[in-house]
A and B are shown apart, each in its own frame.
Chain A
Amino acid sequence: MAPAGRDRPLWATGIRQDAAGRAHIDAVMGPDEYHPVVDDNTYTNVLARWNLRHAAALVEATGGDRDEAAQWRMLADALVDGFDPDRGLHEQFAGYWNLEPLLATQIAPPPFTADLLLGADRVAGSQLIKQADVVMAHHILPGEMAPRSLAADVAYYEPRTAHGSSLSPAIYAAQLARARRPDDALALFRLAARLDLDDTTGTIAGGLHLAALGGVWQALAHGFLGLDPTGETLGIDPCLPTPWQALELRFRFRGQPVAVQADREAVHVTCRAPLAVRVGGRPPQRCDPPHTTIPLEATR
């Protein structure tokens, strides 16, 4: 994706508008490589929309061409995002609903490489997907997705996912946890965490799967612990799987080292300077150094 700024965003020139004024992005490949050339991939369109809006905001904030920024905002607003209100789901790309309705477990226990087993053409004509696609959009830009669509999208796409990419299980683990299915999340988290230990890919001789390991950390942070670093307030919304008694992560937030531990009863925040946190759906509250305990009961 092109950087925003003085240059025009890539998407400003790559979008087609139809007679009704809706905007489309044709002939792209989303994260799911089993469907290599598709129109209106939800993941791509959502990221493009975010990119256009942020580019416009940046141009406006830096004294750039406001007319052009306004044009980008119009394009962003007109971009279809695949959300089907009748189903309450995002369609991965235009025409996905009409593909052969195959579930992964009908072929083999995931993870497996469906394109090798069935052939690329058969897989491309089916609803089997290689990895998180719509669900990846939820992971990267949750605020850009239709409200309350996460649980339905995860429930729909996970059975159709072969997890034939090492990047997939951790992302699903994170989003299953966000969808309040922590025990289902744990199964995929374990698959992701043990990917190299078990040589699941058969390519360990070539090195570690660092992006997958990054996904493991994200599943812990954004999934099970529910960290949301957007803005100046740190969001915390833990959702622990049954076998876990507690989860603690140490990280830096807005420059200061922070530790967050969540157990069944409370969230414990350790910081060096006053910190605004938002636990669950509660309003932001102040955490004073060095330790603050926030009971969880009141948040549920």
Chain B
Amino acid sequence: MTAERTVLACLDPGPAARAVVETARGIGTLMGAAVEAVHVGRQASETLRTLAAHHDVPLRLLPPPTEAALLGAVGAPEVVAAVVGARATPGGRRPTGRTAMAVMEGTSRATVVVPPEAVGVSPRPFRRLLVPLEGSEESSRPVVECLCPLIVTEVELVVLHVFTPETVPRVLDRPGRDLEMLGDEFLTRHCPYATRIEWRTGPVGTRVTEAYDREDADLVVLSWSQHSSVGHAKVVRDVLTTSTIPVLLLPVGPRP
């Protein structure tokens, strides 16, 4: 059954291409899926062909227009995740290009956004995923129902919850003991697959970035509404802007 699963590496000649292929292989291992690279155009550059061949990934050409072609490929029933590149230059602050955003917003599949700095994360198997959760059923469900059943390797899921004035515990008699109890309750309700939970306070995007670095995580997992306009998905935009490791986005819509 798992042989039917496919992870699509969406390649373009940008600086993240190598990281995209490597991450796609890592995601493929994580989900027990084959990896296929796709490129929109009549032909792929020598660089892309060499890159795909070097990683033993078949490369398929898709006819333009770009966004429609990618969404069509990603929407195939065997595809469980799409991997796209982010940012024009390493260290640049432009989070995602128009094409990547179109895939992120237009597909019901998991989308992995890979910054150029993520080179070298794979092909080492993913060991630790950081899963920021706000504590709502809406944001937890995609992780529990869509992501966790796809994972076939031993991987540690570390949940991160960033307290806000609205979610901070109202009472802590004995902080160490009470936070442990709150953590057990949080994981039971929102992510029983997780190994442990980390608590933080402050700006969520910043805390997520700090946490994946501290936890030495390989992948950040975020649920999102697929609305990236101003006023929506601030955490997703903040994390995509600053993250140097791949970010897996799970739509909160119906189960794919």
Residues of A at under 8 Å CB distance from B? 107-108, 111-113, 115-117, 119, 163-167, 195, 200-203, 205-206, 209
Besides A115-B172, A116-B201, 10 more A-B contacts (Cβ < 8 Å) are: A112-B168, A112-B170, A113-B172, A116-B169, A117-B165, A201-B173, A202-B181, A203-B178, A203-B182, A203-B185
Question: A113 and B169: CB pair below 8 A?
Answer: yes
Of B171, B181, B184, B185, which is within 8 A of A113 by CB? B171
With contact pairs A107-B165, A108-B165 given, residues A116 and B172 touching in the complex (Cβ less than 8 Å): yes
Question: B165 and A112: CB pair below 8 A?
Answer: yes
Question: B168 and A209: CB pair below 8 A?
Answer: no
Question: B173 and A209: CB pair below 8 A?
Answer: yes
Distance between A161 CB and nearest chain B CB, rounded to angstroms? 12
Distance between A100 CB and nearest chain B CB, rounded to angstroms? 18
Distance between A13 CB and nearest chain B CB, rounded to angstroms? 29
Question: B169 and A165: CB pair below 8 A?
Answer: no
Distance between A237 CB and nearest chain B CB, rounded to angstroms? 30
State the CA gap A195–B168 with chains docked (Å): 16
Question: B165 and A165: CB pair below 8 A?
Answer: no
Of B168, B181, B184, B185, which is within 8 A of A116 by CB? B168
Which chain A positions have C-beta within 8 A of B168? 108, 112-113, 116-117
Which chain A positions have C-beta within 8 A of B193? none
State the CA gap A205–B189 with chains docked (Å): 12
Distance between B198 CB and nearest chain A CB, rounded to angstroms? 13
With contact pairs A116-B201, A117-B165 given, residues A165 and B171 touching in the complex (Cβ less than 8 Å): yes
Interface-central residue, A107, A195, A201, A205, by most chain B CB under 10 Å: A201
Distance between A132 CB and nearest chain B CB, rounded to angstroms? 14
Distance between B211 CB and nearest chain A CB, rounded to angstroms? 16
Distance between A204 CB and nearest chain B CB, rounded to angstroms? 9
Of B165, B181, B201, which is within 8 A of A203 by CB? B181
Interface-central residue, B165, B172, B175, by most chain A CB under 10 Å: B172
State the CA gap A116–B201 with chains docked (Å): 7
Complex A-B, nearest 3 residue pairs according to Cβ-Cβ distance, in ascending order: A201-B171, A111-B170, A203-B181
Residue of chain A at shortest CB distance from B188: A205
Distance between A241 CB and nearest chain B CB, rounded to angstroms? 23
State the CA gap A167–B174 with chains docked (Å): 12
Q: Mark B154-187, 1 if CB is under 8 A from A, else 0.
A: 0000000001010011111101001001101100
Q: How many A-B residue pairs have CB under 8 A?
A: 61
With contact pairs A203-B181, A205-B181, A206-B181 given, residues A113 and B173 touching in the complex (Cβ less than 8 Å): no
Q: B interface, how many residues as a size bin?
A: 10 to 19
State the CA gap A209–B163 with chains docked (Å): 23
Question: B171 and A164: CB pair below 8 A?
Answer: yes
Of A108, A117, A163, which is within 8 A of B171 by CB? A163
Question: B165 and A166: CB pair below 8 A?
Answer: no
Of A108, A164, A167, A205, which is within 8 A of B185 by CB? A205
6 contacts between A and B (CB under 8 A): A113-B175, A164-B172, A165-B173, A200-B170, A201-B172, A203-B181
State the CA gap A111–B169 with chains docked (Å): 9
Distance between A87 CB and nearest chain B CB, rounded to angstroms? 30
Distance between A203 CB and nearest chain B CB, rounded to angstroms? 4
Distance between B137 CB and nearest chain A CB, rounded to angstroms? 16
Residue of chain B at shortest CB distance from A110: B170
With contact pairs A116-B201, A117-B201, A206-B181 given, residues A195 and B171 touching in the complex (Cβ less than 8 Å): yes
Which chain B positions have C-beta within 8 A of A202? 169-170, 178, 181-182, 185
Question: A111 and B165: CB pair below 8 A?
Answer: no
Distance between A133 CB and nearest chain B CB, rounded to angstroms? 15
Chain B 129-151 residues near chain A, CB threshold 8 A: none
Which chain A positions have C-beta within 8 A of B173? 165-167, 201, 209
Distance between A194 CB and nearest chain B CB, rounded to angstroms? 12
State the CA gap A53–B185 with chains docked (Å): 48
Which chain B positions have C-beta within 8 A of A107? 165
State the CA gap A111–B172 with chains docked (Å): 10
Distance between A94 CB and nearest chain B CB, rounded to angstroms? 25
State the CA gap A200–B181 with chains docked (Å): 13
Distance between A12 CB and nearest chain B CB, rounded to angstroms? 31
